[in-house]
Amino acid sequence: MNETIDLLKTRRSVAPHKLGGPEPTPEEIETLLTIAARVPDHGRLFPWRFIVIAGEARRRIGEAIGRAFQADNPSASAETLEFERNRLARAPLVIAVVSRAAPHVKIPDWEQVMSAGAACMSLVVAANAMGYATSWITEWYAFDRRVLEALGLAPGERIAGFVHIGQPMEAPLERPRPNLSDIVTRL
Ligand SMILES: Cc1cc2nc3c(=O)[nH]c(=O)nc-3n(C[C@H](O)[C@H](O)[C@H](O)COP(=O)(O)O)c2cc1C
């Protein structure tokens, strides 16, 4: 129990380019996905799904990111294009959390979206508990229809996060956190 509290009290993101191998094993990935799928979910709708982007697939999706970027920025330098193509290949493993929130007679869209956020956070906490570090990011390509199609997202599905997972190459510095007195109301 204290280990969990310590982890949550000290967890920090590590930038994708500072995440290296070894990557999680297939068994560890199975555990991560099982934990991510065990989040509060009003109405048992499973309003999320996961896309495991590992190995060569990281560059394959990266090509789609590069194509979309080049189409919108025809004068981009070769260096910039390579940066875009390499976006998902910086960390050894990326798990995309997809929100499948859809109109429902009883469960508001907002609650379904929050459940996808909870799946992201469970994934982050579980990976950190296994000794990995993570970065939960979206970036422009999470909102780009051409990239979403390359990922196989149906119309209406959205990226809640690309959770990058790997071994930290360096320890992250602490960053300021809010004062509880500024954000907590006690009634
Ligand atoms: C939904 C969501 C999307 C995010 N997208 C980005 C992003 O695109 N780029 C980025 O630098 N940080 C993004 N972040 C913030 C990082 O996940 C992280 O929280 C931040 O770098 C602060 O680090 P910390 O987790 O150590 O507090 C996002 C966070 C959330 C919740």
Average pLDDT, the chain: 97
Can you read off the two tokens belonging to residue 141? 């390509």
In 3D space, the residue among 96, 82, 104 whose CA is nearest the CA of residue 162 turns out to be: 96
Is residue 157 in contact with ligand 1, taking CB distance under 6 Å?
Answer: no
| CA R_g for the chain | 18
pTM across the whole model: 0.98
Q: How far is the CA of 79 from the centre of ligand 1 (A)?
A: 25
> Residue 50 corresponds to which amino acid?
F
What is the rounded CA–CA span in Å between residue 179 and residue 89?
36
Question: Where does 11-152 have alpha helices with state H?
Answer: 26-36, 57-72, 78-85, 109-129, 145-151
Whether 164 and 94 have beta carbons less than 8 Å apart is answered as: yes
Q: Which residues, 6 or more positions from 145, have their beta carbon under 8 angstroms from its beta carbon?
A: none
Q: How far is the CA of 187 from the centre of ligand 1 (A)?
A: 31
**53 beta partners:** 94
Please choose from 134, 136, 139, 162 the residue to mutate so as to test ligand 1's pocket, defined by most ligand atoms within 8 A of CB. 136
Q: Is the dihedral of CA 20, 62, 93, 113 positive or negative?
A: positive
Whether 169 and 91 have beta carbons less than 8 Å apart is answered as: no
Whether 49 and 101 have beta carbons less than 8 Å apart is answered as: no
Banded pLDDT at 91 (limits 50, 70, 90): very high
Name the closest-CA residue to atom 13, ligand 1: 137
In 3D space, the residue among 90, 123, 161 whose CA is nearest the CA of residue 11 turns out to be: 123
Q: How far is the CA of 76 from the centre of ligand 1 (A)?
A: 26
pLDDT in tens, 9-50: 999 999 999 999 999 999 999 999 999 999 999 999 999 999
Banded pLDDT at 1 (limits 50, 70, 90): low
Is residue 139 in contact with ligand 1, taking CB distance under 6 Å?
Answer: yes
Whether 86 and 17 have beta carbons less than 8 Å apart is answered as: no
Is residue 161 in contact with ligand 1, taking CB distance under 6 Å?
Answer: yes
Name the closest-CA residue to atom 5, ligand 1: 137
